[in-house]
Protein backbone atom coordinates (compact mmCIF):
# COMPACT_ATOMS: atom_id res chain seq x y z
CA UNK A 1 0.00 0.00 0.00
CA UNK A 2 1.18 3.54 -0.83
CA UNK A 3 1.23 6.36 1.76
CA UNK A 4 -1.16 9.18 0.83
CA UNK A 5 0.72 12.11 2.32
CA UNK A 6 -1.98 12.33 4.99
CA UNK A 7 -0.91 10.99 8.36
CA UNK A 8 -2.01 7.44 9.07
CA UNK A 9 -3.51 6.79 5.64
CA UNK A 10 -2.32 4.36 3.00
CA UNK A 11 -3.93 3.99 -0.42
CA UNK A 12 -5.73 0.68 -0.83
CA UNK A 13 -7.54 1.41 -4.12
CA UNK A 14 -6.40 4.27 -6.36
CA UNK A 15 -8.56 6.83 -8.13
CA UNK A 16 -7.65 5.21 -11.47
CA UNK A 17 -8.59 1.71 -10.29
CA UNK A 18 -11.93 2.98 -8.97
CA UNK A 19 -12.76 4.75 -12.26
CA UNK A 20 -11.97 1.60 -14.27
CA UNK A 21 -14.10 -0.57 -12.02
CA UNK A 22 -17.02 1.89 -11.99
CA UNK A 23 -16.97 1.70 -15.82
CA UNK A 24 -17.28 -2.10 -15.56
CA UNK A 25 -20.05 -1.86 -12.96
CA UNK A 26 -22.02 0.54 -15.17
CA UNK A 27 -21.67 -1.84 -18.11
CA UNK A 28 -22.97 -4.73 -16.01
CA UNK A 29 -25.95 -2.69 -14.77
CA UNK A 30 -26.81 -1.51 -18.28
CA UNK A 31 -26.71 -5.08 -19.55
CA UNK A 32 -28.95 -6.31 -16.72
CA UNK A 33 -31.68 -3.74 -16.17
CA UNK A 34 -33.62 -1.25 -18.28
CA UNK A 35 -32.43 2.02 -16.75
CA UNK A 36 -35.36 3.97 -18.23
CA UNK A 37 -37.61 1.96 -15.86
CA UNK A 38 -35.26 2.18 -12.89
CA UNK A 39 -34.83 4.57 -9.98
CA UNK A 40 -31.35 4.91 -8.49
CA UNK A 41 -31.73 5.06 -4.70
CA UNK A 42 -28.59 6.37 -3.04
CA UNK A 43 -27.87 5.24 0.53
CA UNK A 44 -26.62 8.35 2.31
CA UNK A 45 -24.11 9.39 3.17
CA UNK A 46 -21.35 7.02 2.14
CA UNK A 47 -22.64 6.20 -1.35
CA UNK A 48 -22.70 9.85 -2.41
CA UNK A 49 -19.48 9.77 -4.45
CA UNK A 50 -20.03 6.33 -6.01
CA UNK A 51 -23.55 7.33 -7.00
CA UNK A 52 -22.37 10.56 -8.63
CA UNK A 53 -19.81 8.64 -10.70
CA UNK A 54 -22.10 5.70 -11.48
CA UNK A 55 -25.29 7.48 -12.55
CA UNK A 56 -23.36 9.57 -15.07
CA UNK A 57 -22.35 6.33 -16.78
CA UNK A 58 -25.91 4.99 -16.98
CA UNK A 59 -28.31 5.90 -19.78
CA UNK A 60 -31.51 7.78 -18.98
CA UNK A 61 -32.37 6.66 -15.46
CA UNK A 62 -36.02 7.25 -14.59
CA UNK A 63 -35.06 9.14 -11.42
CA UNK A 64 -32.62 9.48 -8.55
CA UNK A 65 -33.74 9.43 -4.92
CA UNK A 66 -32.13 9.10 -1.51
CA UNK A 67 -32.52 7.02 1.61
CA UNK A 68 -30.60 7.01 4.86
CA UNK A 69 -30.37 4.27 7.43
CA UNK A 70 -28.53 3.96 10.72
CA UNK A 71 -27.29 0.80 12.30
CA UNK A 72 -27.27 0.80 16.09
CA UNK A 73 -24.71 -0.88 18.29
CA UNK A 74 -21.62 -0.35 20.38
CA UNK A 75 -18.32 0.59 18.73
CA UNK A 76 -17.81 -1.32 15.51
CA UNK A 77 -20.28 -4.07 16.40
CA UNK A 78 -23.80 -3.59 15.14
CA UNK A 79 -26.74 -4.56 17.35
CA UNK A 80 -28.59 -5.63 14.23
CA UNK A 81 -31.15 -2.87 14.56
CA UNK A 82 -31.29 -0.68 11.46
CA UNK A 83 -33.58 2.35 11.40
CA UNK A 84 -34.62 4.38 8.40
CA UNK A 85 -33.69 8.02 9.09
CA UNK A 86 -34.68 9.39 5.70
CA UNK A 87 -37.12 7.78 3.33
CA UNK A 88 -37.43 8.03 -0.45
CA UNK A 89 -39.82 10.64 -1.82
CA UNK A 90 -40.78 8.87 -5.03
CA UNK A 91 -43.44 6.30 -5.66
CA UNK A 92 -41.56 3.11 -6.52
CA UNK A 93 -44.53 0.95 -7.44
CA UNK A 94 -43.71 -1.32 -10.36
CA UNK A 95 -40.26 0.17 -10.89
CA UNK A 96 -36.83 -1.42 -10.68
CA UNK A 97 -34.63 0.07 -7.98
CA UNK A 98 -30.88 0.31 -8.21
CA UNK A 99 -29.84 0.58 -4.56
CA UNK A 100 -26.39 2.18 -4.42
CA UNK A 101 -24.35 1.76 -1.25
CA UNK A 102 -20.65 2.20 -0.61
CA UNK A 103 -19.85 -0.91 1.41
CA UNK A 104 -21.39 -4.27 2.18
CA UNK A 105 -20.17 -5.22 5.64
CA UNK A 106 -22.46 -7.22 7.94
CA UNK A 107 -25.18 -6.88 5.29
CA UNK A 108 -27.70 -5.67 7.87
CA UNK A 109 -28.15 -2.21 6.32
CA UNK A 110 -28.51 -3.48 2.77
CA UNK A 111 -30.93 -6.23 3.78
CA UNK A 112 -33.05 -3.74 5.72
CA UNK A 113 -33.02 -1.19 2.89
CA UNK A 114 -33.87 -3.85 0.32
CA UNK A 115 -36.93 -5.07 2.24
CA UNK A 116 -37.92 -1.47 2.99
CA UNK A 117 -37.83 -0.50 -0.70
CA UNK A 118 -39.72 -3.67 -1.64
CA UNK A 119 -42.40 -2.63 0.84
CA UNK A 120 -42.71 0.57 -1.21
CA UNK A 121 -43.78 -1.62 -4.14
CA UNK A 122 -40.53 -1.80 -6.09
CA UNK A 123 -40.63 -4.56 -8.70
CA UNK A 124 -37.07 -5.56 -7.88
CA UNK A 125 -34.25 -4.07 -5.83
CA UNK A 126 -30.78 -4.51 -7.31
CA UNK A 127 -27.99 -3.78 -4.85
CA UNK A 128 -24.72 -2.30 -6.05
CA UNK A 129 -21.85 -1.58 -3.68
CA UNK A 130 -18.29 -0.47 -4.30
CA UNK A 131 -16.74 -2.55 -1.53
CA UNK A 132 -17.54 -5.96 -0.12
CA UNK A 133 -16.17 -7.28 3.19
CA UNK A 134 -17.45 -10.88 3.08
CA UNK A 135 -15.61 -11.86 6.28
CA UNK A 136 -17.96 -9.57 8.24
CA UNK A 137 -21.26 -10.85 6.84
CA UNK A 138 -24.08 -11.62 9.32
CA UNK A 139 -26.99 -11.91 6.91
CA UNK A 140 -27.05 -13.21 3.37
CA UNK A 141 -27.29 -10.50 0.74
CA UNK A 142 -26.97 -11.00 -3.00
CA UNK A 143 -25.75 -7.88 -4.75
CA UNK A 144 -26.04 -7.43 -8.50
CA UNK A 145 -22.42 -6.38 -8.53
CA UNK A 146 -19.73 -5.22 -6.13
CA UNK A 147 -16.60 -3.31 -7.06
CA UNK A 148 -13.86 -4.75 -4.88
CA UNK A 149 -13.62 -7.43 -2.23
CA UNK A 150 -11.57 -6.10 0.67
CA UNK A 151 -10.22 -7.56 3.93
CA UNK A 152 -11.50 -6.45 7.31
CA UNK A 153 -9.59 -3.15 7.45
CA UNK A 154 -10.88 0.29 8.42
CA UNK A 155 -11.29 2.02 5.08
CA UNK A 156 -12.05 5.66 4.36
CA UNK A 157 -12.34 7.91 1.32
CA UNK A 158 -14.51 8.01 -1.80
CA UNK A 159 -17.53 8.70 0.40
CA UNK A 160 -16.52 6.65 3.43
CA UNK A 161 -15.72 8.40 6.67
CA UNK A 162 -14.29 8.18 10.11
CA UNK A 163 -16.23 10.60 12.34
CA UNK A 164 -17.37 12.42 9.17
CA UNK A 165 -13.77 12.97 7.95
CA UNK A 166 -12.15 11.70 4.75
CA UNK A 167 -15.31 11.33 2.62
CA UNK A 168 -13.81 13.76 0.10
CA UNK A 169 -10.69 11.71 -0.66
CA UNK A 170 -10.72 10.60 -4.32
CA UNK A 171 -9.18 7.20 -3.44
CA UNK A 172 -9.86 4.54 -0.82
CA UNK A 173 -7.35 4.38 2.01
CA UNK A 174 -6.76 2.30 5.09
CA UNK A 175 -6.74 4.19 8.37
CA UNK A 176 -3.99 2.87 10.62
CA UNK A 177 -5.06 1.71 14.09
CA UNK A 178 -4.66 4.57 16.55
CA UNK A 179 -4.66 7.28 13.87
CA UNK A 180 -8.40 7.76 14.25
CA UNK A 181 -7.59 9.31 17.63
CA UNK A 182 -5.00 11.72 16.17
109, HSE (Cβ side, Cα atoms, 13 Å): 29
Judged by CB under 6 A, does residue 43 bind ligand PRP? yes
Interface residue with ligand PRP, options 104, 128, 130, 131 (CB under 6 A):
104
Binding mask 143-172 for ligand PRP (x = CB under 6 A): ------------------x-----------
**CA atoms within a 13 Å half-sphere pointing along the CA-CB vector of 21:** 17
- Name the active-site residue from 87, 105, 152, 168: 105
**Binding flag, residue 105, ligand PRP (CB under 6 A):** yes
Sheet with 172-175: strands ordered across? 2-3, 9-13, 172-175, 155-156
* Nearer residue to ligand PRP within complex by CB, 16 or 165: 165
The pairing of beta strand 38-44 with beta strand 63-74: parallel
**C-beta of 18: minimal distance to ligand PRP in Å?**
16
- Kindly give the pairing relationship between strand 63-74 and strand 9-13: unpaired
Any catalytic annotation for residue 105?
A: yes
Contacts with ligand PRP, residue ranges (CB under 6 A): 43-46, 70-71, 78, 101-110, 161
Amino acid sequence: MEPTGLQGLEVLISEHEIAKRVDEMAARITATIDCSEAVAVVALKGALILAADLVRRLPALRAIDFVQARSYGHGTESSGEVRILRDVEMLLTGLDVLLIDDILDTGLTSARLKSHLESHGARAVHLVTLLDKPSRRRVEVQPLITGFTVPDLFVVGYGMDFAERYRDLPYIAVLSPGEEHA
